[in-house]
């Protein structure tokens, strides 16, 4: 069959064929037939009919969303080709290969870094000090580039990842500050008109040395509203090490059609991981009165009932929405609320990403890598194909399904 005269028409024919193939794999076709993704912000407003027939030329954002959803579904299938607990995990990122970045002009940053170094036994050479005005939400790329150049020059060659020790700034212009430190500032990681952004080769990879393999140092922020909050976060991370918790992963399917786009992945996650972990799909706007939460993935602007649930040490939780990663001044629920409620890791968008699934954590991929014994920073980063607009927060070295480190026994 020769391609149609217009390339966009050929792409849509390929995507139509792809969705028929997904149907043959018995994914949730009823959702595909009815799914409408609506991305709304002050600057964007687009209704995306993912699997419906296309009449006339589809919008660029519609084609991007359909391609993003297809690639996400395809990656989910590929991700579970290996038994998630069927092989031992290599060492990966440890205290020796994690560098901590401290803002000496921020008292909280200094105290958090001191505590973290003592608790995790971070080598002195891995403690990297910089200075900039604290508390501002956004940093310019010129100011950031100066700081990152300093950090790179002082980073020991063996370091594979970074931990930040502040909540603000949380972004560098259009990029999250964690991705900016991981990859360097690059506008390819920023979107226009609800478009896709540059993916990272680290996504769903088997790499245990991301800088050596890809030139990327995954970054996570030890963030909180106070020093005491971050200390509790750090303590939870250590408490989780090699605990092999018997908790539950809650895959929450809400009534928020614009933000519930990951729910299409839930049947496949249950199929491949249901025998390895207690997983529950909950059709509600939130869960309440649960005392065994290990994973909590949802899509909504605000999550109610967090005060009624108990997160196990090492728990991961996030909500797909536009501004969760605006940690200190979000008009929606800040991702910090998850950590305050007892989670050990979370993720949120720092600028309007629209609701392309590839810009948010893919729950099954995150869970799979965590169960394989990888630390939080590796499992979470490997679960996001396009991390440019999202910030990773939490205790990077939390490792519930890995071997216990010497630092875990230090009090």
What pLDDT digit, counting tens, does each position of 236-285 carry? 999 999 999 999 999 999 999 999 999 999 999 999 999 999 999 999 99
Residue 86, pLDDT > 50, answer: no
Contact 134, 166 (CB under 8 A): yes
DSSP 64-101: HHHHHHHHHHHHHHHHTTS-TTSS-----S-GGGEEEE
Domain ranges for the chain, please list them. Answer: 7-79
Q: What is the mean pLDDT of residues 46-55?
A: 27
Distance CA 138, CA 168 (A): 8
User: What confidence score (pLDDT) does residue 194 get?
Assistant: 87
Residue 74 burial (10 A CB sphere; 0-12, 13-18, 19+) = middle
pTM of the model: 0.83
Neighbours of 400 (CB within 10 A): 25
User: What confidence score (pLDDT) does residue 47 get?
Assistant: 27
Q: What is the mean pLDDT of residues 380-398?
A: 98
Q: With cut-offs at 50, 70 and 90, classify the pLDDT of residue 163.
A: very high
Q: With cut-offs at 50, 70 and 90, classify the pLDDT of residue 74.
A: low
Distance CA 102, CA 379 (A): 24
Residue 115 burial (10 A CB sphere; 0-12, 13-18, 19+) = middle
Contact 59, 67 (CB under 8 A): no
Percent of the chain predicted with pLDDT > 90 = 75
- List pLDDT tens digits, range 56-72: 333 444 445 555 555 55
Contacts of 268 (CB under 8 A, 6+ apart): 27, 73, 76, 77, 80, 364
3-state secondary structure of 349: strand
- List pLDDT tens digits, range 103-155: 999 999 999 999 999 999 999 999 999 999 999 999 999 999 999 999 999 99
Residue 75, pLDDT > 60, answer: no
Contacts of 87 (CB under 8 A, 6+ apart): 372
Q: What is the mean pLDDT of residues 290-311?
A: 98
Residue 212, pLDDT > 60, answer: yes
Residue 384, pLDDT > 60, answer: yes
Residue 77, pLDDT > 70, answer: no
- List pLDDT tens digits, range 213-237: 999 999 999 999 999 999 999 999 9
Q: What is the mean pLDDT of residues 16-35?
A: 38
Q: With cut-offs at 50, 70 and 90, classify the pLDDT of residue 403.
A: confident
Mean per-residue pLDDT of the chain: 84
Distance CA 287, CA 309 (A): 8
Q: What is the mean pLDDT of residues 178-197?
A: 95
């Amino acid at each position: 069959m020769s391609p149609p005269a217009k390339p966009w028409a050929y792409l849509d024919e390929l995507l139509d064929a792809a969705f028929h193939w997904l149907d043959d794999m018995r994914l949730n076709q009823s959702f595909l037939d009815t799914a409408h993704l609506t991305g709304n912000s002050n600057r964007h407003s687009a209704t995306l009919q993912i699997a419906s027939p296309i009449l006339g030329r589809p919008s660029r954002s519609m084609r991007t969303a359909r391609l993003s959803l297809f690639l996400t579904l395809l990656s989910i299938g590929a991700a579970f080709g290996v038994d998630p607990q069927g092989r031992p995990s290599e060492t990966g990122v440890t205290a020796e290969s994690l560098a901590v970045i401290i803002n000496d002009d921020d008292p909280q940053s200094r105290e958090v870094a001191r505590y973290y170094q003592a608790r995790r036994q971070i080598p002195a050479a891995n403690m990297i000090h910089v200075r900039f005005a604290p508390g501002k939400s956004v940093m310019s790329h010129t100011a950031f580039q100066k700081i990152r150049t300093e950090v790179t020059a002082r980073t020991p060659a063996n370091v594979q990842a970074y931990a930040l020790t502040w909540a603000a700034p949380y972004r560098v212009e259009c990029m999250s500050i964690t991705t900016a430190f991981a990859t360097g500032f690059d506008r390819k990681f920023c979107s226009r008109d609800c478009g896709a952004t540059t993916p990272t080769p680290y996504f769903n990879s088997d790499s245990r040395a991301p800088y050596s393999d890809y030139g990327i140092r995954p970054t996570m922020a030890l963030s909180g509203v106070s020093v005491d909050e971050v200390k509790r976060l750090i303590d939870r991370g250590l408490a989780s090490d090699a605990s092999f918790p018997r908790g539950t992963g809650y895959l929450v399917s809400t009534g928020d059609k614009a933000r519930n786009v990951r729910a299409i992945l839930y049947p496949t996650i249950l199929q491949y991981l249901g025998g390895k972990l207690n997983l529950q799909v909950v059709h509600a706007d939130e869960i309440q009165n649960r005392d065994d939460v290990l994973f909590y993935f949802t899509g909504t602007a605000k999550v109610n009932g967090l005060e009624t649930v108990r997160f196990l040490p090492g728990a991961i939780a996030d909500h797909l929405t536009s501004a969760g990663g605006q940690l200190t001044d979000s008009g929606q629920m800040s991702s910090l609320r998850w950590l305050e409620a007892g989670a050990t890791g979370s993720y949120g968008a720092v600028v309007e990403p629209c609701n392309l699934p590839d810009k948010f954590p893919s729950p099954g991929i995150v869970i799979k890598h965590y169960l394989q014994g990888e630390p939080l920073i590796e499992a979470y980063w490997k679960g996001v194909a396009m991390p440019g607009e999202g910030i990773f927060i939490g205790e990077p070295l939390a490792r519930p399904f890995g071997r216990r480190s010497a630092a875990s026994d230090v009090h």
